Structure 1
Amino acid sequence: MSKTFTPADVATHKDASSGLYIIIDDGVYDVTNFVDEHPGGAKILKRVAGKDATKQFWKYHNEGVLKKYGGKLRVGSVAEKAKL
């Protein structure tokens, strides 16, 4: 079962101690354990942690990336549409 988050809930997950969550489209992803594997570097994920990263994600990634990693990183969905 998928958990539902508000953008405010996701905003509380912006550091390693509380977990690094990002929003992409309507999905919420926990990138805490992926940070060191991210080909673009950990700094980029830490910068968008707790936020809607949809715009930044689609600027640099294609749908295949989300298909490859989304399944294991997705922890829920957004209850209300986040503002970009």
Structure 2
Amino acid sequence: MSKTFTKAEVATHKDEKEGMYIIVDDGVYDITSFLDDHPGGAKILKRFAGKDATKSFWKYHSKSVLEKYGGKLRIGTVAETAKL
């Protein structure tokens, strides 16, 4: 079952201890376990932890990236619509 998060709840997940979450479109993704696997490095993911990364995500990624990794990392949806 998918959980619903507020943006404020996602914002509390910005370090490895609390888990690192990002928002892309209306999805909430736990990227904690993906840090070392990210081709662009962990640093950029850490910069967006706890935030809406939609605009930057789509600037550098195609739909196929979200299809490939999203299913494993998606933990829920954001309660209010993510703004670009």
TM-score range, shorter chain: over 0.9
Partner Cα separation in structure 2 for residue 78 and residue 33 of structure 1: 20
1:5-53 Cα shifts (integer Å, max 9, x gaps):
0000000000000000000000000000000100000000000000000
Instruction: Give the whole-Å Cα distance in 1 for the aligned partners of 2:83 and 2:62.
Output: 21
> Structure 2 unaligned runs (5+)?
none
Give the secondary structure class of the aligned counterpart of 1:23: strand
Amino acid in structure 1 at the alignment position of 2:64: G
Q: Secondary structure at the match of 1:34?
A: helix
> TM-score scaled by structure 1?
0.97
Counterpart-to-counterpart distance in 2, 1:14 and 1:82: 17
Is residue 29 from structure 1 mapped to residue 29 from structure 2 by the alignment? yes
- Distance in 2 between residues matched to 1:33 and 1:6, nearest whole Å: 22
1:61 partner amino acid: H
Q: For 1:60-82, what per-residue CA distance to the aligned partner results, in whole angstroms no more than 9, with x for missing partners? A: 00000000000000000011123
Alignment pair present for 1:40 and 2:40: yes
Backbone CA RMSD of aligned residues: 0.7
Q: What is the percentage of aligned positions where both structures have the same residue?
A: 76
Kindly state the Cα deviation for residue 83 of structure 1 after the two structures are TM-superposed.
3.6
The residue type equivalent to 1:19 in the other structure is G
Q: How many residues align structurally?
A: 84
* Moved beyond 2 Å, runs of 4+: none
**Structure 1 residue runs without a partner (length 5+):** none
Indicate the SS of the match to 1:21. Answer: strand
Q: Identify the structure with the greater helix proportion.
A: 2
